[in-house]
Amino acid sequence: MASSETTSKPEALDVIIIGAGISGINTAYRLQTELPNIRFTILESRNEVGGTWSQFTYPGVRSDAIMNTLAFQWHLYPHSEPIADGSLILDYIKDAASKTGIAERIQMRHKVRTAEWSSSKKQWALTVDHEGKQKNYTARWMILGTGYYDYETPLQAELPGLGNFKGKIIHPQFWPKDYDYENKKMAVIGSGATAVSLLPLLAEKAGELTLIQRSPSYIIVKDNRSWTYRHMPLALASACQRLYHTVQQHYFVAYCEHFPAAAKERLRKDTVKRLPKWLEQDPHFKPRYNPWEQRMCTDPDGIFYEALHRPNVKVITGNVKNFTETGVQTQDHKTEKIETTDLDAVVTATGLNMKLGGGIDIRIDGEPLSWGKKYIWNGAMIEGVPNMMFVFGYADNTWTIAADITARLAIRLLKHMDRKGLKSVVPQLPEKHITKDTERIFRLNSTYATLADERLPVYGKAGPWKPRTRPPQDYVHARWGNYRKGLHFST
């Protein structure tokens, strides 16, 4: 908790960006480029830029997205491999912030505790904890680049008897820095992107490694080499790759949605040919759902499937029945046989604890903001909340693309308001757009996402309240479309 010692006078700014990850740094670049006279800062609670890519350090952490789409449009990614290790991504983000002068705008170890909007003053007032002391800020605008999960509290895995286990229990979000897993008997519980990233690296050193999954995911192999870099200058190759993969991903998802049976069969054939002979596709790699109803995992150069051929790796598809002091009991879905696996360590790769706003106590004229079931305007603002944007990525495309679309919307709004002498803008939902048939903000049905539904905002069905799902069209709308629909401005 911050002490009662405060700065004598709040620092007054035009914009405060919260979070120095991809979202915050991209927004900062757009602000300083498009509105060079604007007064802004970035408040970062941690001691390092990078957001997710600073937080996650587990073995094998990497991008699932192609780097030319995850990278900033305004700062070239210097490596040719389309899928990058987490350390390379973190170095890239730091380099982008440093070379553009954004790093000088970042205030580290500044954790925002409260943010209150005053309709009479037309500004936000923030209280910030900086190394135990309270600092105060005011700003016309607040932009949340705080991501979508809780940085401090992981999702608690609901595993029967986990408390009985006397070995090491690890959540990938908080991987212990000096943990040596060489020759250890380990289990990774989960089937999502984290589990798929972890398994190849753990398999290299662990004595025994068991992947335990209640139900499998779709895993698509991608070539981690790109011919364009061998035949084009870096800038041209990067631009071509960014355009190609943005559009290709969009149409691949559309193909899966409109032709699920064909997509499923295509993925099944590719999976079967990569599995070891002892491992059956059904049930171990036959998902219960259609492609892209949950996030699809990426396997660069097939290293996940290669790891399954190692003699120290096995796969169990079934339910965790109980933990003992020395291991786990599972029940196979197909045979219903109970199996006991001795373990030294358990890795619970079962998802993230979803939370918007970084845990900040946000209030509007004294009334607490309840995110749950509020309508979202153009994927970037919340009904009834003035002068605040939050950055949220696509569920089925790259986060950075959506972050940049939000930043461009913010720039257009700020320019318009400055030209017209306007001081506040708030999304207002007309009665005709209120519907019981709302859409979830995170439209995939992953378990960790559905658990958070009640505390997350929603999309409507029409106008600026419908979800952003098409990156090319969303980009065009953010740059040149009607951005004032659904908004109420005041002086």
pLDDT tens digits, one per residue of 453-484:
899 999 998 899 999 988 889 999 999 999 99
Label residue 5 by pLDDT band (50, 70, 90): low
Label residue 8 by pLDDT band (50, 70, 90): low
Least confident span in 90-99, 329-338, 386-395:
329-338
* CA atoms 443, 252, 244, 220: torsion sign: positive
Structure confidence by residue, pLDDT tens digits, 139-168? 999 999 999 999 999 888 889 999 999 999
Label residue 6 by pLDDT band (50, 70, 90): low
Asked whether 200 and 306 are in contact (CB, 8 A), the reply is: yes
Residue ranges and CATH numbers for the domains of the chain are: 11-152+354-490 (3.50.50.60), 162-225+275-348 (3.50.50.60)
User: Is the confidence at residue 353, as pLDDT, over 50?
Assistant: yes
Bridge partner list, 143: 17, 389
User: Mean pLDDT, the chain, as a whole number?
Assistant: 93
Cα separation of 428 and 486, whole Å?
6
Label residue 3 by pLDDT band (50, 70, 90): very low
Pure H helices in 177-259: 193-205, 228-231, 234-258
Average pLDDT over residues 182-211: 97
User: How confident is the model at residue 314, as a pLDDT?
Assistant: 97
Q: Which long-range contacts (CB under 8 A, 24 or more apart) does 48-51 make?
A: 48/108, 49/20, 49/21, 49/25, 49/93, 49/94, 49/97, 49/103, 49/106, 50/20, 50/21, 50/89, 50/90, 50/93, 50/94, 51/19, 51/20, 51/21, 51/22, 51/23, 51/24, 51/93, 51/145, 51/147
Structure confidence by residue, pLDDT tens digits, 241-276? 888 888 899 899 999 999 999 999 999 999 999 999
Lookup: tokens for 253: 């998802």
User: Is the confidence at residue 2, as pLDDT, over 60?
Assistant: no
* CA atoms 428, 471, 62, 232: torsion sign: negative
User: How confident is the model at residue 227, as a pLDDT?
Assistant: 74
